[in-house]
């Protein structure tokens, strides 16, 4: 994608051949961040000196028998714990919080030789679709800094697409990896629920959250998933199933595959430019050997309501722990209850408060059956829709979002409008299945469009194969955002 920043797949070879050094990669990275971050606001913090020390150590080691990710720096969303680094979830309530431990996904990256590098911007506690809910200001879209990055992993997407990260980790509760990847023009993978350990991920909605990679290529997503996937005794919801060889699945063709188009994802409400780009991508997949069939996901229209009941209910419980006693900032009061109230009133942002209130409401007696319980039942119907669809095809092709990125500020005063933009992504989380976002074109105003590939639970190898074959046949992922051209593409 960017000549100056190698991919995860190419870097080890370049290092082994002596064509580059880890120090040089870290220097390029630091220079890019210095130059672009003041505009793009993708990193909340980073430690260039630590990275330089680490690079020197790596460069001094023998290149023989190196682990898979030796010498690869990976950006980390501010919701994932990295020992000794701040983990603020882009919230003032955790402003001074420094993590005492590594999330399992982070620990696995380290074991594979990578360096968790920097803290990437996000919506506060991962609640949002535009990164405008960050307490530190929004990340900005590398293709046009007046536009949103998407969210909540907006910093991760902007850093990868803007040449400020080789790759990054994000999290996806209702689209937060796939949608910013689509808006910024990089690859984003949401693994199936249970594929990656959530230990060390600050919980938003525990039955929906998953950690996954944002990368320059599908192959890179496959490599990072390989490293972070698998059972972890520290997360009882991580499944004890073998991890396939994801890279081996990247055959480059789609021969013998059946791909389904959910009718409900191709409606009038979708921006025609998005539909056009996705339709062109479908044609390309047909040329690559896939058979295309129509399928139905009849409960799609209930998905946003269902998601915003379940996610807020779980969030209201998960965020109860931030009371000023155990973590982060504290306001003093007349008694402990008064102190909790003052702390939460002062340091949580407006969207987080809205969700805690909504979540508490749907769980309260008298409303529980009408909202929460009913949403759980509809969730089952949505999961069954996908099970039925996957009887007819191997994977689904769809838009990631109904629009491309929109101007900053356009939707901040209209939460409902913001929530409705999640219609095509929340379904995968509700059903527990996997989803991939791959660049598939640009709108007339030069903003990226994403193709979504959805697959059955624990069939990441299938969607990676589809995404990779499509990517290899097109060159959308080679585009360079203006921000990178302006400063000489450093």
Length of the chain: 490
91, 134, 156, 176: which is the annotated catalytic residue? 176
**Pair of tokens at residue 438:** 């791959």
Give the residue from 398, 393, 438 showing the smallest Cα distance to 292.
393
Does an H or E element contain 146, and which? Answer: strand 144-148
- Does 460 contact ligand GLN by CB under 6 A? no
**Pair of tokens at residue 364:** 């309260």
Q: Are 405 and 158 in contact (CB under 8 A)?
A: no
Residue 399 bridge partners (DSSP): 451
Looking at residue 25, the DSSP 8-state letter turns out to be H
- Does 385 contact ligand GLN by CB under 6 A? no
Hey, which residues between 409 and 438 contact ligand GLN (CB under 6 A)?
Answer: 422
- Does 318 contact ligand GLN by CB under 6 A? no
152, 192, 238, 437: which is the annotated catalytic residue? 152
Give the residue from 142, 144, 126, 124 showing the smallest Cα distance to 134.
124
Residue 76 bridge partners (DSSP): 119, 169
Nearer of residues 77 and 465 to ligand GLN, judged by Cβ: 77
Hey, which residues between 137 and 156 contact ligand GLN (CB under 6 A)?
Answer: 152
Nearer of residues 177 and 396 to ligand GLN, judged by Cβ: 177
Give the residue from 162, 169, 157 showing the smallest Cα distance to 76.
169
- Does 452 contact ligand GLN by CB under 6 A? no
Contacts of 469 (CB under 8 A, 6+ apart): 250, 251, 252, 253, 254, 285, 288
Nearer of residues 64 and 416 to ligand GLN, judged by Cβ: 416
Smallest gap from residue 180 Cβ to ligand GLN (A): 9
Nearer of residues 156 and 173 to ligand GLN, judged by Cβ: 173
Contacts of 270 (CB under 8 A, 6+ apart): 399, 402, 403
- Does 126 contact ligand GLN by CB under 6 A? yes
Task: Select the span of 105-113, 171-179, 231-239, 396-404 touching ligand GLN (CB under 6 A).
Answer: 171-179
Q: How far is CA 158 from CA 140, 154, 297, 348, in A?
A: 7, 6, 32, 25
30, 35, 77, 99: which is the annotated catalytic residue? 77
- Does 129 contact ligand GLN by CB under 6 A? yes
- Does 455 contact ligand GLN by CB under 6 A? no
Q: Which residue from 71, 88, 113, 128 is in contact with ligand GLN, where contact means CB under 6 A? A: 128
Give the residue from 127, 20, 142 showing the smallest Cα distance to 447.
142
Smallest gap from residue 440 Cβ to ligand GLN (A): 21
- Does 238 contact ligand GLN by CB under 6 A? no
Does an H or E element contain 120, and which? Answer: strand 115-120
- Does 170 contact ligand GLN by CB under 6 A? no
Residue number, nearest CB to ligand GLN: 176
**Pair of tokens at residue 208:** 């929906």
Smallest gap from residue 1 Cβ to ligand GLN (A): 24
Other CB atoms within 10 A of residue 136 CB? 20
Q: Which residue from 81, 176, 192, 343 is in contact with ligand GLN, where contact means CB under 6 A? A: 176
Give the residue from 33, 37, 38 showing the smallest Cα distance to 48.
33
Query: How many Å from the N-terminal Cα to the C-terminal Cα in the chain?
Result: 12
Smallest gap from residue 399 Cβ to ligand GLN (A): 15
- Does 89 contact ligand GLN by CB under 6 A? no
Task: Select the span of 4-12, 122-130, 195-203, 391-399 touching ligand GLN (CB under 6 A).
Answer: 122-130
Q: Which residue from 70, 311, 431, 449 is in contact with ligand GLN, where contact means CB under 6 A? A: 311
- Does 175 contact ligand GLN by CB under 6 A? yes
- Does 174 contact ligand GLN by CB under 6 A? yes
- Does 212 contact ligand GLN by CB under 6 A? no
Q: DSSP labels for 70-87?
A: TT-EEEEETTB--TTSB-
Q: Which residue from 78, 172, 385, 471 is in contact with ligand GLN, where contact means CB under 6 A? A: 172
Phi, psi of 64 (to 5 degrees): -75, 145
24 is catalytic: no
Smallest gap from residue 126 Cβ to ligand GLN (A): 4
Give the residue from 77, 92, 80, 231 showing the smallest Cα distance to 155.
77
Size of the site for ligand GLN (CB under 6 A): 13
Residue 98 bridge partners (DSSP): 86
- Does 362 contact ligand GLN by CB under 6 A? no
77 is catalytic: yes
Nearer of residues 195 and 468 to ligand GLN, judged by Cβ: 195
Cα separation, 380 vs 367, whole angstroms: 20
176 is catalytic: yes
Which residues form the catalytic set? Answer: 77, 152, 176
Site for ligand GLN, rule CB under 6 A: 126-129, 152, 172-176, 204, 311, 422
């Amino acid at each position: 994608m960017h000549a100056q920043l190698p991919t995860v797949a190419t870097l080890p070879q370049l290092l082994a051949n002596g064509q580059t050094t880890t120090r040089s990669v870290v220097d390029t990275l630091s220079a890019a961040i210095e130059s672009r971050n003041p505009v793009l606001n993708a990193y909340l913090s980073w430690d260039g000196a630590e990275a330089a020390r680490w690079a020197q150590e790596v460069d001094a080691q023998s290149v023989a028998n190196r682990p898979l990710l030796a010498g690869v720096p990976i950006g980390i969303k501010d919701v994932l714990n990295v020992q000794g680094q701040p983990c603020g979830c882009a919230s003032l309530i955790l402003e001074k919080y420094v993590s005492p431990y590594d999330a399992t996904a982070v620990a696995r990256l380290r074991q594979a030789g990578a360096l968790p590098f920097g803290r990437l911007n996000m919506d506060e506690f991962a609640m949002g679709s535009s990164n405008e809910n960050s307490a530190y200001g929004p990340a900005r879209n590398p293709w046009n800094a007046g536009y949103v990055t998407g969210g909540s992993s907006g910093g991760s997407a902007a850093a990868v697409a803007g040449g400020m990260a080789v790759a990054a980790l994000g999290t996806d509760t209702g689209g937060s990896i796939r949608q910013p990847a689509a808006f910024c023009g990089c690859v984003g993978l949401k693994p199936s629920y249970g594929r990656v350990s959530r230990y060390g991920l600050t919980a938003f909605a525990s039955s929906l959250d998953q950690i996954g990679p944002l990368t320059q290529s599908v192959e890179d997503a496959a490599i990072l998933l390989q490293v972070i996937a698998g059972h972890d005794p520290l997360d009882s919801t991580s499944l004890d199933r073998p991890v396939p060889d994801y890279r081996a699945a990247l055959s480059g063709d789609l021969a013998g595959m059946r791909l389904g188009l959910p009718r409900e994802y191709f409606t009038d409400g979708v921006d025609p430019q998005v539909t056009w780009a996705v339709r062109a991508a479908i044609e390309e997949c047909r040329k690559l050997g896939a058979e295309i069939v129509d399928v139905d996901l009849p409960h799609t229209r209930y998905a946003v309501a269902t998601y915003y009941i379940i996610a807020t209910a779980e969030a209201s419980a998960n965020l109860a722990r931030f009371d000023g006693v155990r973590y982060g900032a504290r306001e003093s009061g007349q008694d402990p209850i008064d102190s909790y109230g003052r702390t939460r009133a002062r340091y949580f942002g407006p969207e987080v408060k809205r969700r805690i209130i909504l979540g508490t409401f749907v769980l309260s007696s008298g409303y529980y059956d009408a909202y929460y319980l009913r949403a759980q039942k509809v969730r089952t119907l949505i999961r069954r829709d996908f099970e039925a669809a996957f009887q007819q095809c191997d994977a689904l092709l769809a838009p990631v979002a109904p629009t491309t990125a929109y101007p900053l500020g356009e939707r901040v005063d209209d939460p409902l409008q913001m929530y409705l933009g999640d219609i095509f992504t929340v379904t995968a989380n509700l059903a527990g299945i996997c989803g991939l976002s791959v660049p598939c074109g640009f709108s007339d105003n030069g903003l990226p469009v994403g193709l979504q590939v959805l697959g059955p639970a624990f069939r990441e190898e299938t969607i990676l194969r589809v995404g990779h074959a499509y990517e290899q046949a097109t060159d959308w992922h080679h585009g360079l955002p203006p921000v990178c051209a302006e400063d000489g593409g450093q």
